[in-house]
């Protein structure tokens, strides 16, 4: 089965729980074309980082994203991520900026924030959530959270 079929099946499953998910994904596709209004832009920002930046076809970026989502808590270096994607660190940086509009570091930070938020929702403490998500300290977690809000 082609990966777009898997994406569409996953989106259909997500729509069972969040009826507006299809609209949000459509908005993300149109986002790159510059045809997005304010509401659609807000809907895109509400998607989790696991879905928000998957709207591209570049296999090297997908390999990097797969590695990062499998272990966001790891202490990743750019060279390690690039090795998983089978490209140079500089090329990976360019690809992320060109296709996703975000740096590799910012993408990883968003994944870690999502993991930490899940731990907090489960009632775990801030320190445990920060460590489980891969932040070096609760302070680093709070700083990342502030950057994401602003």
Q: Is residue 30 part of a domain?
A: yes
Q: What pLDDT does residue 125 have?
A: 94
Q: Is residue 23 part of a domain?
A: yes
Q: Is residue 20 part of a domain?
A: yes
CA 92/CA 103 separation, integer angstroms: 9
Q: What pLDDT does residue 82 have?
A: 98
CA 8/CA 26 separation, integer angstroms: 11
Parent domain of 19: 1-47
Q: Is residue 15 part of a domain?
A: yes
Tens digits of per-residue pLDDT, 13-42? 545 544 444 443 333 433 444 444 444 444
Number of domains in the chain: 1
Q: Which long-range contacts (CB under 8 A, 24 or more apart) does 12-18 make?
A: 14/51
Q: Is residue 32 part of a domain?
A: yes
């Amino acid at each position: 089965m082609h990966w777009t079929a898997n994406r569409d099946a996953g989106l259909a499953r997500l729509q069972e729980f969040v009826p507006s998910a299809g609209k949000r994904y459509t908005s993300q596709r149109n986002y790159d074309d510059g045809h997005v209004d304010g509401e659609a832009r807000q809907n895109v920002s509400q998607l989790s980082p696991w879905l928000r930046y998957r709207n591209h076809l570049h296999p090297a970026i997908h390999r990097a994203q797969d590695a990062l989502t499998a272990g966001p808590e790891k202490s990743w270096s750019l060279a390690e991520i690039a090795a998983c994607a089978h490209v140079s660190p500089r090329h990976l940086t360019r690809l992320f900026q060109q296709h996703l509009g975000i740096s590799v570091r910012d993408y990883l930070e968003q994944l870690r924030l999502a993991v930490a938020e899940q731990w907090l929702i489960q009632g775990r403490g801030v320190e445990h959530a920060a460590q489980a998500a891969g932040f070096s300290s609760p302070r680093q977690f709070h700083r990342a959270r502030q950057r994401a809000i602003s």
